[in-house]
Amino acid sequence: MSSAMLAGHIVIASFNAIKKLYRTLKPHRIGVYGPSMTGKTTLDQYLTVPGDIEPIPLEFRTTHARQNGYYVLPTAHRHQIKWKTERHPVSSVDIGGQTQFRSLWVEDMFIRRPNVVFFIVDHRVLNYPQFTQESVASLSYLVDAIVGKHYPQSLSRKARKNAKAGYRPDMFCFLINKMDIWWTPQAQYLWDNGLQREHPIVYPFRQELRRLRKAGIQADVEAISAQHGMNVEKVMIKLIESL
């Protein structure tokens, strides 16, 4: 091996080592939001310890304490995502999906400024119009904060400052959970041909996804099953690698 080639390998190895150390110290930030019972906590648990996750009883849904009349944002925690030879540390916060906690989504988004924002729904979009309406309203609320600059009154001073500074996520992912329930040959065909937005679960949300794309924010559509670990790491790594 020539000295020039050896020097090149050393430079590449040094660069990769520095990059790995940087990400260890400063992991990618992800924001996970969406309606109640769509699997956000299950996904958080799976990212912490991969494997089949027991269904979470209704009485153990994520809730948040109040302080001075406002809900308190939980502390972010780290995960290590592994897929084949790729490993990436990420940080996230588990936030409830009930309507009263929507303001915390925006608070978390502007406080931590996640690289990737995930909005999670599930198969109930196919069968329950009320759930669909609530989910569309939730996504609209989030998109308004990102591109419309409409913020909740409870937004903290720091979050409002970051919002005014022009934060936007590098990528937005409309994430359909519980694919073990709703995935069909039709879904496989649409995903294989890049036609995810034609799926009946996605269709009601297309206008909001268009708003993001018109604002210059990439909006992808992906499918997982957080409870069974289907596609989770693959999707996460794919999105992180594309940043």
The answer to whether position 17 is within a domain reads no
Token pair, residue 174, equals 């409309």
The answer to whether position 93 is within a domain reads yes
Token pair, residue 140, equals 């609209």
Q: What is the pLDDT of residue 4?
A: 56
Model pLDDT for residues 29-42, shown as the tens digit of each residue: 999 999 999 999 99
> Which domain CATH number covers 226?
3.40.50.300
Q: What is the pLDDT of residue 169?
A: 96
Model pLDDT for residues 156-187, shown as the tens digit of each residue: 999 999 998 889 999 999 999 999 999 999 99
Which residues, at least 6 apart from 91, have a Cβ–Cβ distance to it below 8 Å? 27, 28, 29, 30, 76, 77, 78, 79, 112
- Indicate the pLDDT class of residue 16, thresholds 50, 70 and 90: very low
Q: What is the pLDDT of residue 227?
A: 95
Q: State whether the Cα torsion 12-18-22-24 is positive or negative.
A: positive
Residue 230's domain spans which residues?
Answer: 27-241
The answer to whether position 2 is within a domain reads no
Bridge partners (DSSP) of residue 30 are 116
The answer to whether position 22 is within a domain reads no
Question: Is a pLDDT exceeding 90 seen at residue 17?
Answer: no
Q: What is the pLDDT of residue 60?
A: 78
The answer to whether position 16 is within a domain reads no
The answer to whether position 3 is within a domain reads no
> Taking all residues of the chain, what is their mean pLDDT, rounded to a whole number?
90
pTM here is 0.89
The answer to whether position 43 is within a domain reads yes
The answer to whether position 128 is within a domain reads yes
- Indicate the pLDDT class of residue 55, thresholds 50, 70 and 90: confident
- Indicate the pLDDT class of residue 6, thresholds 50, 70 and 90: low
Count of structural domains, the chain: 1
